Structure 1
């Protein structure tokens, strides 16, 4: 059994904890921030498609997303695609990509010219391919939490920490400080790993932007499951 630190916001933290318990591990749930919706204005012209790089964007987009639910919705990862389906999108597409930059390239290859990217405030910057025009709207923001003494003590005793975004990685690195030297980090992308900083006992990057690959990178899956989600290691 491995003690696994989960700092992602709710409701995702509870879902991850449930999966880890089913795998025989001990989750340590200590969210470092919470996600809150922001008001946003639609673009002047109707886009040809929607782009989502996080599940939170689908959950927090709100009623303003209604005119776009019938458009092709390009997503990074199965978790984002599931949230898009829950939000009411009917034409969901999930190319085999690892991040927003690869998703932009995949959208351009489909011949799409104009897209609406719904996102949080903090995202990695990816220049769009030639011929692809991107209108970005910030639909949610992160509000940071301070750990209680009990949460801090439990977090510092964790063996593995999971990181789902660059924002989460930056917050986790700052919160653990020097205690990171005793913790193995598993990040969902290279950007998330880089944002977490150095000094960890070990770092691994998931080979795909989904939780199975993240668990595999952390060594939390059995051998049969690992073969479904290979990992890429980084220093």
Structure 2
């Protein structure tokens, strides 16, 4: 049984824990952030489409999002798409992309000229392609959660740590300090892995920005794989 540290905020952390238990692993839930919704004002003009780069944006968009539920909703990853569906979007599109920059290119390629990007406070910055206007609205904030001593002890005893964002990588590195040599890291993106720094037992990067790929990178899709600790070094 592999002990897997889950650092994502709730309610996603509990969902991930359930998935890992079903796969025969021992989840260690120690979120690094707490997500809180923020009030936001809609843009003056109706956009042609909505862009979501996180599931939290779909969950925390609030009543103001209702106006846009019938528009095409472009998402990064299956989990964000599922959250968009749960929020009531009816035309959900998930191009095969790895990050927000690639999603912007896919939106432009679809002939969309004006989009509303609902996001958290801190996101990677991507220049939109020529001809694509982006109105961004911050609908939630992720606030750092300081671990208790019990959470820290449990986290540092994990075999594998899952990282879902560059900010999460930075926070994990700070929380672990030098106590990381025995922990293998699996990151949702190369930027997230880089943000976590060096010194881990090994690092792996998901082939696509979704949890199935994150599990696969960590060798968690079957117990036999996990026992072999197949994470590969990325630097």
User: TM range, normalised to the smaller chain?
Assistant: over 0.9
Moved over 6 A (4+): 223-226
> Cα–Cα, structure 1 residues 142 and 22, in superposed 2: closer, same or farther, change >3 Å?
same
Q: Work out whether residues 159 and 182 of structure 1, in 8 Å CA contact, stay in contact via their aligned partners in 2.
A: yes
Q: Is 1:16 the counterpart of 2:33 in the alignment?
A: no
Indicate whether 1:81 and 2:86 are aligned: no
Q: Does 1:170 align with 2:145?
A: no
Q: What is the 5 A alignment of 1:110-149?
A: 110-149=110-149
Matched with 1:203 is 203
Residues 152, 232 of structure 1: CA spacing in aligned structure 2 closer, same or farther, 3 A cutoff? closer
The TM-score, its normalising length taken from structure 1, stands at 0.94
Distance 1:108 1:128 in 2: 8
1:156-179 Cα distance to aligned partner (Å, 9 max, x none)? 111100011112111111101111
Q: Is the 8 A contact 2:25 2:223 kept in 1?
A: no
Residue 99 (structure 1) aligns with: 99
In the aligned structure 1, how far is the partner of 2:157 from the partner of 2:232? 25
Instruction: Give the number of aligned pairs.
Output: 231
Q: Is the 8 A contact 2:202 2:232 kept in 1?
A: no
Rate the CA distance shift 1:224–1:69 in 2: closer, same or farther, 3 A.
Answer: farther
How big is the shift at 1:139?
0.4
Unaligned runs of 5+ in 2: none
Distance 1:233 1:58 in 2: 33
Q: Distance in 1 between matches of 2:234 and 2:132?
A: 32
Structure 2 residue aligned with 1:53: 53
